[in-house]
Structure 1
Amino acid sequence: MSLPMRFWIFVVNLLCLPLHLIKAVGLYEPYKRIFPMYVNRITMGYNKKMQDKKRELFRSLSEFNKHGGPLTILEIGCGSGANFEFYPAGCKVICTDPNPHFQKYLEKNIAKNEHISCDRFVVLSGEDMGSVEGESVDAVVCTLVLCSVTSIALTLREARRVLRPGGAFFFIEHVVADPSTWSYFFQHVLQPFWYYFGDGCEVTRETWKYVEAAGFSDLKLRHVEAPLIFIIKPHIIGYAVK
């Protein structure tokens, strides 16, 4: 990390000192009530810009229905249900999210997407899905979530645990930019503020390295430049087979 980058990170951290203090004394929690409303509003814009990539990726979901019953999907960090419109007809979705305040927005999206059925909504984190039985789902979906989990490695371990043999982990995640770019510089400089704006989101993660090391038998992963603002422009998209 260069000296100028360290300097500007220090400056931004100083500017974020009130936010650091708010979190330290436990006053940040009310934002978790507001955050779902914000996410719900930007979902339409994100889906509009990424719909081709989402359709292409989730078209493969049906390939992993190998037991004859409805395709069962577990979504980690389902939020307001941004992915529902891209899921195949007749599938059953187990929705999980650590933020219970997403539920009312989730229910509205479930009502709009009658081609799928919601099995249940469970408030839990990706790192600990103990209430979900092992080897019980055909696919696990995780989009724009690994940027904010406490442990990517534990989340991927849980995803592998709940997948049936031959099932797949589907992902779309923003990641850190190439170190030679200005995006990389500003991702690191703005990270202290972005963390609070995005409810724990970190834009400097090399998420693909964790997916590559997670022990899946087959991995289809590609790096893409999403048509979004520079700080979340670099993405990885793909799926990994158990």
Structure 2
Amino acid sequence: MSFLMTFCTFVVKALCLPLHVLDAAGLYKLYKRVVPFFLYRLSKLYNKKMHERKKELFASLSEFKQPGEQLTILEVGCGTGSNFHFYPAGCKVICTDHNAHFEKYLQRNMRENPHVTYEKFAEASAEDLRSFQDACVDVVVCTLVLCSVDNVPQTLREVRRVLRPGGAFFFLEHVAADPTTWTYFFQHVLKPLCYYIGDGCQVTRATWTHLEAAGFSDLKLRHMKAPLIFFNKPHIMGYGVK
């Protein structure tokens, strides 16, 4: 299967050559303006498919609220704000994303979810949250983000830094399949295309290994099969406590 996978991957890379050229010429940045429009619509479809999984995941958010205080959530890589619907009433949400063009759709989702308090949006990469102080939030959320960051360990170090002691990092990510399966074969073959249409997505990333090595005092991590297209079924979800 390795020869077939190598050959098919080469074909896909060749088909992606125009995208490589655009990227090298610096013109691919125009895509940053377009991707929020499509992801706003795709995120609604994803939420519909993953509603029960997200509901289950975020049911534990309120456990990390400090007595007498407002639950403060920092969502890293917030995109269009598709998670707001699942957040508990009365919480305060701070958002970051490396693409400032998401803010328009982010504000739209905030208007549709008045049960949460929207504090601010900051343009920032997940690896560099320097605008936030140490131990400043109760919860950090990342969904479908760790697949596209440049440096997962550095991202998780920043997550742990901004979390207060006893706070939690909630995650929901698509991940690499078992390398012996056809699912992995197609993930590997389509990886060059996914990188561009997914804004840097690395579809064969074994994200769970980084989470297990991140130093959380308690890590609740579960592998699952999402009700999505076959090559995107392998997911992990859970949370880690600082």
Assess same fold via TM > 0.5: yes
Deviations 1:81-102 (A, max 9, x none): 0000000000000100010000
Q: Does 1:211 align with 2:218?
A: no
- In structure 2, the residue matched to 1:192 is 192
Range 96-105 or range 10-19, more displaced: 10-19
CA distance in 2: counterparts of 1:82 and 1:232, whole angstroms: 18
CA distance in 2: counterparts of 1:121 and 1:112, whole angstroms: 17
Once the two structures are aligned, what percentage of the paired residues are identical? 64
Q: Does 1:21 align with 2:21?
A: yes
RMSD: 0.9
- Note the C-alpha offset of 1:199: 1.1
Deviations 1:201-240 (A, max 9, x none): 1110000000000000000000000000112110000000
- In structure 1, the residue matched to 2:126 is 126
Q: Unpaired runs of 5+ in structure 1?
A: none
Letter of the 1:61 counterpart: L
- In structure 2, the residue matched to 1:87 is 87
Q: Unpaired runs of 5+ in structure 2?
A: none
- In structure 1, the residue matched to 2:137 is 137
CA distance in 1: counterparts of 2:30 and 2:122, whole angstroms: 21
CA distance in 2: counterparts of 1:82 and 1:23, whole angstroms: 28
- In structure 2, the residue matched to 1:70 is 70
Q: State the secondary structure of the residue aligned to 1:185.
A: helix
Letter of the 2:108 counterpart: K
- Note the C-alpha offset of 1:180: 2.0
- Note the C-alpha offset of 1:66: 2.0
- Note the C-alpha offset of 1:77: 0.5
- In structure 1, the residue matched to 2:170 is 170
CA distance in 2: counterparts of 1:81 and 1:187, whole angstroms: 26
Q: State the secondary structure of the residue aligned to 1:215.
A: coil
- Note the C-alpha offset of 1:17: 1.3
Pairing of 1:221-240 with structure 2 (within 5 A): 221-240=221-240
Deviations 1:113-170 (A, max 9, x none): 1110111100001000000111000000000000111111111110000000000000
TM-score by length of 2: 0.98
Q: State the secondary structure of the residue aligned to 1:36.
A: helix
- In structure 1, the residue matched to 2:182 is 182
Q: State the secondary structure of the residue aligned to 2:27.
A: coil
Q: Does 1:10 align with 2:14?
A: no
